[in-house]
Chain A
């Protein structure tokens, strides 16, 4: 039986790595998740089978827990809208962290019962570290979920906050160290306090971080959960958990860095600065010129007779649910022989790649979608750049004004297109609160209105020609 378990865990580890590898190319990505899924299923079924034994008393309860968790997650995962995907990932990730912490808790409580065999100090240390990381990941992910879901709107900031958090973290570490030193003599109360404070630390650490930075934080917690799983895998002597956890830990760390880099921020900056709450302290550049409005029929003419159109979608497009209409417009233009491409900024949407998912949902093929580096050279040849729901990612101020909070962020060079059309609901500034110079340029025209309504109007107008 042990042989069977070990083989299934080995198979799972291999399939996880191959699955992740396949997930890094759009052509094979779909099969990648299936491969990883088969590995998970095999490992779970074999583990369950070893407990389907009349003299193991927890089997029925275990099945109940398994079905309960699976059912709730399945229903919620099937129902969630693509725009809300980031917070659901946060929630499932938090569950994983919580599970790792629960394993640690069971092992630590068991250690205190008189009948238990001793744990060596390496195991004990890793169990405690996994407990801290897992618990922080759980409570932090819950806060991340609540923020993106709009349940918590304010960012909680006060002076000395970082010292409070640091102090709290130190207390958690000390309690952990006491647990390691005392081993079986540790009291239940101390253990409970240890977990409670770790949970509190996760909350306090995540609360001050602004909504725009949440994706980076979610990715970080994803990596942390991986690490916690690896540690608990070591405690249980489970190689599949060690390998899967460590792979996710390192991959997640890299992914977190890539995301932070795409936003032109360092990870430390995201975690400890509270950007997105303060108004910029830098001097705002005086804006010359004015915004010039345009009507839908004029835009339609421009696009219908263009040779090349580049569409720059932002999160505003997804909120307006305009992606289906935009794709319809794109198809219409392509039938007329217009070369239409989508340009996506790495941080468009709520997390890197989120916009690609939203466009894919509308049926836009991924080979029409271009990355910042691929498309920027093409803007000068474009007759029309259609900006829909994007703002900061096309703001030329990031190139020109060193005082601006977004200075240095790589942007899409939409301002270099011959004509720029911006579909926008009102005249307000973007997520960062910075005025967008692009809107005031001579070759820019503003098409005011709801994204979906405007796209429909453009479709109707283009059909006329």
Chain B
């Protein structure tokens, strides 16, 4: 497993933090709910982490926790996507 040194990670934190702030800052109120749901989907990427953790789990306890983790993360990703898509599907303009 390649690990980031402290400062590389800190730079990523900092830059990603600004990106998140900037991307959202001009969003109209009408999209607040879908956007919250969309960002909820995005942190569903925790799924790949849960898979990695379960992948190198040893013994029943680790495996059980890993299993729960993967199932929960999959729920986050899939549920977040479906709900967001359903909402955004309905937004349309009067011009067609």
Contacts and interface: CB of A to CB of B under 8 A. Distances in A.
A19 to B, nearest CB: 7
B71 A68 contact: yes
Nearest to B61: A109
A103 B46 CA distance: 9
A254 to B, nearest CB: 5
Interface string B29-46: 111111111111111111
A260 to B, nearest CB: 12
Contacts of A65: 54, 66-68, 70-71, 74
A244 B43 contact: yes
A242 interface: yes
Interface stretch (A289-297, A345-353, A415-423, A433-441): A345-353
Contact of B46 (A32, A100, A234, A237): A100
A412 interface: no
B53 A250 contact: no
Interface string A64-90: 111111101110111010100110110
Nearest to A119: B3
Nearest to B24: A251
B78 A73 contact: yes
A37 to B, nearest CB: 5
Contacts, number: 382
Nearest to A349: B33
A396 interface: no
B23 A17 contact: yes
B95 A9 contact: no
B21 A254 contact: yes
Interface string B1-38: 11110100100110011111101111111111111111
Contact of B30 (A115, A230, A243, A369): A369
A238 B49 contact: yes
A234 B9 contact: yes
Interface residues of A, number: 118
A402 interface: no
A92 B12 contact: no
A43 B93 contact: no
Determine the interface band of chain B, counting residues with CB < 8 A from chain A: 35 or more
A172 interface: no
A371 B12 contact: no
Interface string A28-68: 01101110110010011001101100001010011011111
A105 B21 contact: no
A246 B20 contact: yes
B30 A9 contact: no
A361 interface: yes
A27 B37 CA distance: 17
Contact of A110 (B12, B57, B70, B89): B57
B39 A20 contact: yes
B82 A250 contact: no
A380 B12 CA distance: 51
Of B2, B32, B81, chain A has the most CB atoms within 10 Å of the CB of: B32
For the complex of A and B, the 5 pairs showing the least CB-CB separation, nearest first, are A102-B69, A69-B74, A365-B94, A250-B20, A73-B79
Given A16-B45, A89-B33, 9 more contacts: A62-B54, A62-B70, A66-B51, A73-B82, A89-B36, A89-B37, A95-B72, A103-B50, A229-B46
13 contacts: A19-B38, A33-B34, A50-B55, A102-B53, A102-B72, A103-B69, A106-B66, A249-B20, A255-B35, A255-B36, A353-B31, A356-B30, A367-B95
Interface of A: 9, 12, 16-17, 19-21, 23-27, 29-30, 32-34, 36-37, 40, 43-44, 47-48, 50-51, 56, 58, 61-62, 64-70, 72-74, 76-78, 80, 82, 85-86, 88-89, 91-93, 95-96, 98-100, 102-103, 105-107, 109-110, 113, 115, 122-123, 218-219, 222, 225-226, 229-230, 232-234, 236-252, 254-255, 258-259, 262, 344, 346, 349, 351-354, 356-357, 360-361, 363, 365-369, 371
